[in-house]
Structure 1
């Protein structure tokens, strides 16, 4: 296998490592990533190359006085500068064959790529909903109206309409004139006959032509005239003589306007609520970040417009920046309803009829007495959202909090409510799947 084949093989290895996000989401360092750029570590494998032993420089050996004579023993090669024990390492410990190392770099993945990769990994396919019209785009000048600036007059259409009308009223004047020369026929007789032949002649035209007619009694009967004369079609005359005049009417005028296409923009607002009370130690905070951050990336990649709000709470609630949200800790008590009360105020700026809305809360499940039943559950029911999710983090224990159980009992596993429990990093991907699968099922 040549170096080119090796290079392709190692590229494939790196690509496979990038595509499998499970290890990154569960165990990787999420801090370098932002809302719009996910920094995924990629393992880089050293490519094979030739290495030359420094001791080989200068030949196998040399004599002390000039060139060696046949049979003269030669000394050992001198160690290269910087060698310790002749192995080329400063610490005197040589590398075993093939004992290279792999470095790491990062691949910047945008949210759309992340969402696609996570869909593939979890077997999901969330189809975002379009809400109110939030974008208008002008297309080509395909629409027409009866009024408009003169510069937008559709003259081609006007001419075609006039031409069609001209051709529709055309007839063989010479042929009709012969009917006026039938003995004992007047204008009324010829007019009735012409209508019966579907000849679009007017009574006024007949009267004008009859007033200066020569040889008025050329034909004894109409049958004799029809037998002797042949009516020429409009198409034949137009091919021969063309069209001299085209009647243009104001009623046919149309003005071109740009086509207006209304699109339902797919917009989403995500409110992340996090317990920052004294019980939320570092390990719990890390599990919260590992679960909520990928959800933000995923939804940002799915929607045209994504807004993220971050609410921290202990017994009270306040809005924070994303950078503060995952590391913040306070020493207060816990009242989860404070987070939902603040979220409800924030969502007033994002009407449900126009925005998709997600509310994700996370904590260890500790809450003040009866707050879950009396305040949190009613607030969740009042706040319209595509999905409410509660992420319960309980490192190192399988016990379930009272708050998570209350939410499950109140909503009975409905499609728009999900409770996910995370005890260690290995549960993170399952928790994300639980949440996103609930939203996917709600769409069906």
Structure 2
């Protein structure tokens, strides 16, 4: 096995020994990642290196100062190759200490780990292209006339309008029967014959005209020949085509749609949202951002902070803000509704994710938040309650949402009281969306 094989094996082992995804989301350092690159720590794996063979103490190439078992120093590996002193082992972290994945891989692995199967909808139409000639229209150029369809329609008419003429002529031989009598008898037998045809047949009729005492006598002695049998015996000499039978092949118009999404993340920044609560919010919302970035062709994220008022912020400050104000969650939904006007629901998949400690001003949830959630068209509304150590007496927002929406397939409510609850909350949110799809 050569050095390259050793390095490849190290890479494989490193990937296998990277921090478990659930463990990373719940307890790992999320700050080392970026929106387009997720860095998952890898448990330490020793790099392969050369060592002197203890059995060979001399010989050409030994050099001075080398001791048995001492690793070989490779120029440029620990320094720049120009005589810098070697650093101590483990002084600096190397690339091998992280496993990097793009959001697409992160989404795929999270699907596998949590057992999810979310298939995003394509919404915005990018272009329309002509597909195969699978559609048909009543008009079109002669070159696209569908002869097979024309033949089928003509043949159906032939089978529907053909009848056993000799059988009908026998009706004219019923004693005392005239053209009208025969016509009524034939139509009663569901024979598709016209009165004019019977009149012409009567004019040409030769031979005895009172062969049968009644139509019942005729039916008892003469068997009506099915059209299909007669056509097989005699063949089809002529098929009656009509203009309304014409169909023209037309290419199917295929719309290529982009899978795009906008996510409005809402966070309570009031005085009650202490550091531990803010950390739990970040641990839930950040992986959701990565996941949706990996699932969609285009993903845009907007961040709304609120206490008693609401304002839009950049992602970099979203998780760190804390104010000393009160709480009015409806202010955030009012701003979210304004933001989403820029993203028509017929063109964008839309998510509204809110998080806080479930504390809200009196009656705001029932009178303002719930009606706003019903008015805002979204693939999914989610609320994440972060209450380490259990809920406070006045933390009722999540309970009121559950009471109002119950098992609605576009509203998810998750509770996080400790880091180990994070992946369960993420599953609750994403599985609700998956069921909706």
Q: Please indicate the TM-score interval, normalised by the length of the shorter structure.
A: 0.5 to 0.7
Cα distance in 2, alignment partners of residues 335 and 409 from structure 1? 18
**For the structure 1 residues 334 and 118, does the alpha-carbon distance in structure 2 shift closer, same or farther, using more than 3 Å as the test?**
farther
By how many angstroms is 1:116 displaced? Answer: 1.6
TM (norm. structure 1) is: 0.59
- CA–CA distance in 1 between the matches of 2:22 and 2:49? 32
The separation in 2 between residues aligned to 1:225 and 1:413, in whole angstroms, is 80
Within the candidate set 357, 360, 365, 2:354 is matched to 360
Q: Answer yes or no: is 1:107 the counterpart of 2:101.
A: yes
Q: Is 1:206 the equivalent of 2:194?
A: no
Would the aligned equivalents of 1:54 and 1:88 in 2 still touch at CA under 8 Å?
no
Shift of 1:88: 3.9
Picking from 36, 39, 63, the partner of 1:81 is: 63
Distance 1:164 1:441 in 2: 51
Write the mapping of 1:301-340 to structure 2, written as runs, cut at 5 A. 307-312=300-305, 317-326=310-319, 333-335=323-325, 337=327
Unmatched 5+ stretches in structure 2? 74-84, 90-95, 375-380, 407-411
Q: CA deviation at 1:293?
A: 1.0
Partner of 1:290: 283
- Tell me which of 408, 413, 433 is aligned to 2:424: 433
Q: Is the 8 A contact 1:271 1:358 kept in 2?
A: yes
How many residues were matched structurally?
A: 389
Correspondence for 1:345: 335
Q: Kindly report which structure 2 residues correspond to 1:19-418, keeping only aligned pairs within 5 A, or say none.
A: 20-35=20-35, 37-43=37-43, 45=45, 51-53=51-53, 56=56, 80-81=62-63, 83-84=65-66, 88=70, 103-110=97-104, 111-117=106-112, 119=114, 148-149=139-140, 156-173=148-165, 187-188=179-180, 191=183, 199-212=191-204, 216-218=206-208, 221-222=211-212, 233-252=226-245, 269-273=263-267, 275=269, 288-298=281-291, 307-312=300-305, 317-326=310-319, 333-335=323-325, 337=327, 341-350=331-340, 357-361=351-355, 372-373=361-362, 380-384=369-373, 386-391=381-386, 405-408=393-396, 411=399, 414=402
> 8 Å contact 1:311–1:339 — kept in the other structure?
no
Instruction: Give the match's secondary structure for 1:406.
Output: coil
User: Is the Cα contact below 8 Å between 2:25 and 2:423 reproduced in 1?
Assistant: no
Counterpart of 1:289 in 2: which secondary structure? Answer: helix
Give the counterpart of 1:420 among 408, 413, 416. Answer: 416
Tell me how far apart the structure 1 counterparts of residues 114 and 292 of structure 2 sit (CA, whole Å): 11
Q: CA shift at 1:246, angstroms? A: 1.8
**Alignment-derived partner of residue 99 in structure 1:** none
The residue aligned with 1:72 is none
Q: CA RMSD of the aligned region, Å?
A: 6.0
Mapped partners of 1:197, 1:374: distance in 2: 76
Specify every segment of 5 or more residues in structure 1 that has no aligned partner in the other structure, as ranges. 62-76, 96-101, 422-426
* Native 8 Å contact 1:44 1:104 kept in 2: no
Residues 206, 84 of structure 1: CA spacing in aligned structure 2 closer, same or farther, 3 A cutoff? closer
Determine the structure 2 residue equivalent to 1:68.
none
Is contact 2:281-2:386 (8 Å) kept?
yes
Whether the aligned pair in 2 keeps the contact of 1:268 and 1:303 (CA below 8 Å) is no
